[in-house]
Amino acid sequence: MSEYREYENGVADVLAFLTVGEATIERDVHMPGRNSGIDRQIDIVARGRVFGISDATLVVDCKRWASVVDVADVGSFIDMVEDVGA
């Protein structure tokens, strides 16, 4: 298994632990963009009761880069979150 997949699995495991079985955790999910109409690939999606919020959809984009994530990367993530309605 690749180091990146191990990292994603670890993040998904921590999220499953933190939601204490109140949310469904899925990996490598494809969601349609509401505004863009394009298929969005999401590393991890949590649906259900997440951090005290009922009927929540939380999306996670795992990054394990050698360099710091810059403001353009953050903006791209925000656009994706809004597009899928999370």
The domain locations on the chain are: 3-84
pLDDT number for residue 83: 96
pLDDT tens per residue, range 5-62? 899 999 999 999 999 889 999 999 999 999 999 999 999 999 999 988 899 999 999 9
Contact 44, 60 (CB under 8 A): yes
Strand pairing category for 39-50 and 53-60: antiparallel
**Mean pLDDT value of segment 54-80:** 92
pTM for this predicted structure: 0.88
pLDDT number for residue 45: 97
CA 36, CA 15: separation in Å to the nearest integer?
Answer: 28
